């Protein structure tokens, strides 16, 4: 059993300056590197960057930004979250992350996924109708590449490989690769079938409702004869000095981000009542350091997970506010979570959420 890792996650959300003007993409990317450096300094275990191809997110190649982070940090895990494997070349993905693993002296990790957006498919010339087969075949090939030996593979989405070596090899000998899952039992079983760790994206509803997926994953590992693997959770949130400050700071940026996504997907408008419900009973980890620590400890205990990543950026939230949240996460939230779990204290014995 592995010890708990507590990380941070961002998509490089395009933040605004004090006048409400969006920052240039180049500045957002540089700010993400600075945020990761601070996270490393204050004891955060992992920094995870998500791939997107939209105008509201600055990071399209997580491993490139992670390489810059690796050169300025000492201990923090540098991970994608997620790499959209369906619209990428598994061999190039492996080569890029093997290079990152070298630069970071073995700190590279990958979270594979299909992504929650589909812009990468037309951008890179793929058909959305091939969504399922692309991911399944490319994940199958990537599992072979991770063995770092000669690869023999065939499928329908590319020409076959016969005893093909791929270079460079990684620093660590095998790059830890997770599979990100949003709530599909089939995806949970697929991750278990490859013996990959499972990362649950919990962005709505009570985290405890994902308990059946945790049980399914453990059962599938056992039935398929695979060794134990860790499970992680990714959820959004924000930390400020008080609950009220955190809630009010995050709300306009949450409304802006989810309001736009909702309009694109035909959802009902985002309301503050829904937002507050997610804060108090759902998947938003928003509040003072003690409130957020309590909710994380409760989630870790309820699901039996080994990794928790807080998505600390939300829409246009300013860089300076994000830096304050990261500081509190590392210096206050993480120590409190570890103390709560070590003492066996449950959420009910702390502040009410």
**Residue 116 pLDDT:** 83
Q: Going from the N-terminus, what domains does the chain have, and what CATH number goes with each?
A: 5-349 (3.20.20.30)
**Residue 346 pLDDT:** 55
**Residue 353 pLDDT:** 38
Number of Cβ within 10 Å of residue 160's Cβ equals 10
**Residue 241 pLDDT:** 98
**Residue 348 pLDDT:** 45
Dist CA 187 CA 64 (whole Å) = 27
Burial label for 309, CB within 10 Å (0-12, 13-18, 19+), is buried
C-alpha 350, offset from chain centre: 27
**Residue 352 pLDDT:** 38
Kindly report the backbone phi and psi dihedral angles of residue 127, in degrees, each rounded to the nearest multiple of 5, phi listed first: -90, 135
Q: Give Cα separations from 70 to 38, 75, 93, 109 (angstroms).
A: 13, 9, 17, 12
Dist CA 345 CA 328 (whole Å) = 21
> In a 3-state reduction of DSSP, which class is residue 108?
strand
**Residue 222 pLDDT:** 98
349: which 2 tokens? 């014995």
> In a 3-state reduction of DSSP, which class is residue 238?
strand
Dist CA 309 CA 237 (whole Å) = 10
Sole residue written with tokens 């830890």 = 176
**Residue 183 pLDDT:** 83
Dist CA 302 CA 288 (whole Å) = 21
Q: What is the DSSP string of 150-168?
A: -EEE--SSS--EEEE--SS
**Residue 349 pLDDT:** 45
Mean pLDDT by 10 residues, the chain (353 residues): 93 94 98 98 98 97 98 98 98 98 98 92 96 97 98 98 98 97 94 98 96 98 98 98 98 94 91 98 98 98 98 97 98 98 67 39
Cα dihedral 200, 204, 208, 214, rounded to 10, equals -20
Bridge partners (DSSP) listed for residue 46: 7, 77
Q: What is the pTM of this model?
A: 0.96
């Amino acid at each position: 059993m592995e010890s708990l890792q507590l990380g941070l996650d961002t998509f490089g959300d395009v933040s605004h300056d004090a006048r409400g003007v969006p920052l240039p993409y180049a500045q957002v990317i540089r700010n993400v590197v600075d945020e990761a450096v601070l996270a490393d300094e204050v004891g955060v275990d992992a920094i995870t960057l998500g791939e997107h191809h939209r105008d509201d997110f600055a990071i399209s190649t997580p491993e490139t930004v992670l390489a810059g982070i690796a050169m300025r940090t000492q201990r923090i895990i540098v991970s994608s979250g997620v790499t959209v494997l369906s619209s990428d070349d598994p061999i190039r993905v492996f080569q890029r992350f093997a290079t990152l693993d070298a630069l970071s002296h073995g700190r590279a990790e990958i979270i594979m996924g299909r992504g929650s957006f589909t812009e990468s498919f037309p951008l890179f010339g793929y058909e959305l109708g091939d969504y399922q087969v692309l991911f399944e075949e490319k994940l199958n090939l990537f599992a072979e590449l991770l063995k770092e030996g000669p690869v023999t593979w065939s499928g329908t989405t590319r020409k076959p490989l016969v005893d093909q070596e791929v270079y460079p090899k990684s620093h660590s000998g095998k790059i830890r690769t997770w599979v990100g899952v949003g709530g599909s039992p089939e995806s949970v079983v697929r991750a278990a079938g490859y013996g990959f760790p499972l990362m649950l994206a919990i962005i709505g509803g009570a985290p405890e409702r994902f308990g059946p997926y945790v049980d399914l994953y453990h059962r599938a590992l056992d039935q398929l004869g695979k060794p134990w693997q860790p499970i992680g959770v990714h959820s959004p949130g924000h930390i400020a000095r008080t609950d009220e400050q955190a809630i009010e700071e995050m709300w306009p940026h949450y409304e802006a981000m989810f309001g736009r996504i909702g309009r694109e997907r035909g959802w009902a408008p985002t309301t503050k009542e829904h937002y507050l419900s997610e804060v108090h009973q759902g998947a938003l980890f928003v509040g003072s350091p003690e409130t957020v620590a309590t909710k994380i400890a409760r989630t870790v205990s309820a699901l039996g997970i080994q990794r928790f990543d807080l998505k600390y950026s939300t829409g246009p939230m300013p860089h300076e506010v994000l830096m304050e949240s990261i500081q509190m996460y590392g210096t206050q939230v993480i120590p409190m979570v570890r103390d709560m779990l070590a003492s066996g204290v449950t959420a009910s014995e702390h502040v009410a959420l």
